[in-house]
Structure 1
Amino acid sequence: MSDAASFVPSDGDLDDLRAAARDCHGCDLYRHATQTVFGEGPADAEIVLVGEQPGDQEDRRGHPFVGPAGRLLDRALAEAGIDRGQVYVTNVVKHFKFVERGKRRIHKQPGRTEIVACAPWFDAEMRVVRPRLVVCLGSVAAKAILGQSFRITTQRGQFIPGHEYRVIATAHPSAVLRAPDRAEAYAALVADLKTALGGISSAGE
């Protein structure tokens, strides 16, 4: 399988990247998804939030984190003191991967090959935005950025060195929605986001 590198402009702003991503055939996911769901937010954002992939509603509407998980994320961000309008929100994979069950489209986790194929888009986003902090939402995003040895169960809420930007990982909002104790899981998400916000002042050290 090829990757997205040949579709990514060598320079340009986020609008240029977003336009080019619409025609990306870097992996086979484009064949069944409705559209590419690219990142959104200000180009000078200090914080980038990165999840796994768009879901059903994101695929239909063309915007990241606009479904139930997105609404929960909005609430958690507000409670943590983070303005979503001031952060850049994206996913490591830009197309929705799913299986059909009747009339429903059920999320299917992207494979390592698809994640690697889509990596040039995230790298390009980071070159433009140049954030001080990246918050990985869920283990798929965390492993894509921090490596396969990362374990969100033991390393969430910790700042991870070794990048041009500081990295911290927390649970994906969809995992909070599925949690047996949703209140506890939500409180942990908010706590991690507060930790992330507090770490901006020392990002890059």
Structure 2
Amino acid sequence: MVKDGNNSAAHFLPDRLDLESLRAAAACCEGCDLYRNATRTVFGEGPGRAAYMLVGEQPGDQEDRQGHPFVGPAGRILDKGLAEAGIEREDVYVTNAVKHFSWVPRGKRRVHQKPTAGQITACLPWLEAELAAVEPRVVVVLGATAARALLGPAFKVTRQRGEPVPLGDRLAVATIHPSAVLRAPDRDAAYAGFLADLKVAAGTA
């Protein structure tokens, strides 16, 4: 048993590991405690074979309500960056390291809460299955939570961002999460760095 009440999503994986079967099975996942307060599982979306897989942290408030990844403000930053980096949206599969929204109430608002290490570990079987099904050439790792899931706790986005690193038989390029651009004191500088990293990923594929 993983710490803080988490077990593993592995028990919920279907026999067939294609995206359609995975998405249907993930809708019933109770592999960690986050399902209790989330509206729904927010699974990855995109083509069955994609040159790029983009992995974020977790669904946000709008993603949880709508059931689709990267549809909130951070998603608009991501779409802008992809377009300017020359990455076609139809070549991209987007997902998150954690498939349920982790939040705490603040008045009437639901405020994002960083997933725990146990929750990240519990959800990893879904992400590994998505990687195996999609077979991307390049994985763009968006932020520290995704980096922990895919590249290990020793990997530091602040130090190693924008550098292609091996991830199995493919390459990964880490950058900040697009939501970090929105929170940055200097948004223009933060976005410029984010875009530079996406351009590295575009050149890697």
TM-score (normalised: structure 2) = 0.96
Give the length in aligned residue pairs.
Answer: 200
Q: Name the CA distance, whole Å, in 1 between partners of 2:167 and 2:127.
A: 17
Q: Tell me the amino acid that sits aligned with residue 30 of structure 1.
A: Y
Q: Name the CA distance, whole Å, in 2 between partners of 1:12 and 1:150.
A: 28
Partner of 2:85 in structure 1? 80
In the alignment, is residue 186 of structure 1 matched against residue 191 of structure 2? yes
Q: Name the CA distance, whole Å, in 2 between partners of 1:84 and 1:33.
A: 27
- Measured after TM superposition, the shift of residue 85 of structure 1 is 2.4
Partner of 1:164 in structure 2? 169
Q: Percent identity?
A: 62
Q: Tell me the amino acid that sits aligned with residue 149 of structure 1.
A: A
Partner of 1:46 in structure 2? 51
Distance 1:162 1:80, change over 3 A: closer
In the alignment, is residue 68 of structure 1 matched against residue 53 of structure 2? no
Distance 1:178 1:34, change over 3 A: same
Q: Tell me the amino acid that sits aligned with residue 86 of structure 1.
A: D
- Measured after TM superposition, the shift of residue 10 of structure 1 is 3.0
Partner of 2:137 in structure 1? 132
Q: Name whichever of 3-12 and 57-66 sits farther off.
A: 3-12
Q: Name whichever of 62-71 and 10-19 sits farther off.
A: 10-19
Secondary structure in structure 2 of the residue aligned to 1:167: strand
Cα RMSD after superposing both structures: 0.8
TM-score (normalised: structure 1) = 0.96
| Structure 1 residue ranges without an equivalent (≥5) | 201-205
8 Å contact from structure 2 (residues 181, 190) kept in 1? yes
Query: Structure 1, residues 98-146: CA drift from partner, whole Å, max 9, x if none?
Result: 0001110000000000000000000110111011110000111012110
Partner of 2:182 in structure 1? 177
Taking the TM superposition and a 5 Å limit, the aligned residue runs for 1:19-38 are 19-38=24-43
| Structure 2 residue ranges without an equivalent (≥5) | 1-5
Q: Name whichever of 21-30 and 11-20 sits farther off.
A: 11-20
